[in-house]
Structure 1
Amino acid sequence: MGTYNVFFAFVLMAAGVREIEPSKDAMKYITSGFVKVLEECKQELNMNDRIIADLFHYWKLDYTLLNRDTGCAIICMSKKLDLLDDTGRMHHGNAQEFALKHGAGEEVASKIVTIIHDCEKKFERDDDECLRVLEVAKCFRTGIHDLDWQPKVEVIVSEVFTDM
């Protein structure tokens, strides 16, 4: 099972777009790719509006993300983007490549992978894969906020609605 596509897509918007290339086109490209994967998982998992809200409000630190199904959605999206290895953990090479492909420089891509890897280590003992991924997602969000790389939710939402 899996992890972190949601944060990858959003982080790449934050890190890749804000830090490396402040390009509206880059953000639109990342968001469009993410939305396509989200739509597939939404249908496969019969996601309700609460999960969609969790994903769109992901970058707000005060948004608690308590829904276990949100973790399952993250797993689904991570699988679709080939960001997981055979054990269900982040595939470092694929994650690095994904970040680079979406506008992040080498240093930013490496930092993203490191943050996720460190978060995975903190929660590796949780037996419920969906809850574990949800905790990793929250940890990752905090790490990105600590770097001040988080994207603005309003920009993400407007780009998503433009592409729908």
Structure 2
Amino acid sequence: MGLRWVFLVLVVAAGVTEIKTSRDAMKYITSGFVKVLEECKRELNMSDHIMADLYHYWKLDYSLLNRDTGCAIICMSKKLNLMDDNGRMHHGNAQEFALKHGAGDDIASKIVTIIHECEKKHERDDDECLRVLEVAKCFRTGISELDWTPKVEVIMGEVLTEI
């Protein structure tokens, strides 16, 4: 019985460590993504409601409904070389971006897989900004289901210290 208990504790601890590592990776990835926000904010003449959408992005109960938010995500993705010429995620660059920002191979692969699955669900949307907004909402849900959602306050604190 004692050996089983030790094994169970180790499995639970490993799971908690994986979730923390995944959340940390998502925090660093989000922070890296937000670094180009100021540039896009100027280029697109973003209003405060788009900034609010981006600030509240990880909150599942916050409804992202603004088409312009999708356009902002496109701008940031293009600046980070995360989209291909067809307006879809560049898998290799997205994987590399995740790895560069603290994700391990498994986490980076899972992130790319979630985005790819979300893109498949919304590939018929003709309006690129609305399509990307729907993909972003789908991705947010996928990350939440894994319990990898980063804390907004921590992300904003890190971003503000770098500005």
TM-score of the alignment, normalized to the shorter chain, above 0.5? yes
The equivalent residue for 1:39 is 38
Would you say 1:117 and 2:116 are equivalent positions? yes
For the aligned residue pairs, the C-alpha RMSD in angstroms reads 2.3
The equivalent residue for 1:92 is 91
State the alpha-carbon separation in 1 of the partners of residues 29 and 152 from structure 2. Answer: 16
The TM-score, its normalising length taken from structure 2, stands at 0.82
Contact 1:75 1:130 in 2 (8 A): yes
Contact 1:17 1:27 in 2 (8 A): no
Instruction: Report % sequence identity.
Output: 75
Residues 71 and 20 (structure 1 numbering): CA distance in 2 closer, same or farther, change over 3 Å?
Answer: closer
User: Between Structure 1 and Structure 2, how many residues are aligned?
Assistant: 146
Contact 1:18 1:151 in 2 (8 A): no
1:113-147 alpha-carbon deviations (Å, 9 max, x no partner): 00000000000000111001000000000000000
Determine which structure has greater relative contact order: mean sequence separation of CA pairs < 8 Å that are 6+ residues apart, divided by chain length. Answer: 1
The equivalent residue for 1:141 is 140
Point out where structure 1 has 5 or more consecutive residues left out of the alignment.
Answer: 1-15
- Deviation of 1:154 after TM superposition, in Å, equals 1.3
1:63-89 alpha-carbon deviations (Å, 9 max, x no partner): 001110000000000000000111110
Please identify the structure whose Cα radius of gyration is greater.
Answer: 2
The equivalent residue for 1:62 is 61
Contact 2:95 2:108 in 1 (8 A): yes
Contact 1:92 1:113 in 2 (8 A): yes
- Deviation of 1:162 after TM superposition, in Å, equals 2.4
Would you say 1:154 and 2:153 are equivalent positions? yes
Secondary structure at 1:89 match in 2: coil
The TM-score, its normalising length taken from structure 1, stands at 0.81
Contact 2:37 2:76 in 1 (8 A): yes
Point out where structure 2 has 5 or more consecutive residues left out of the alignment.
Answer: 1-17
- Deviation of 1:159 after TM superposition, in Å, equals 1.9
Residues 158 and 147 (structure 1 numbering): CA distance in 2 closer, same or farther, change over 3 Å?
Answer: same
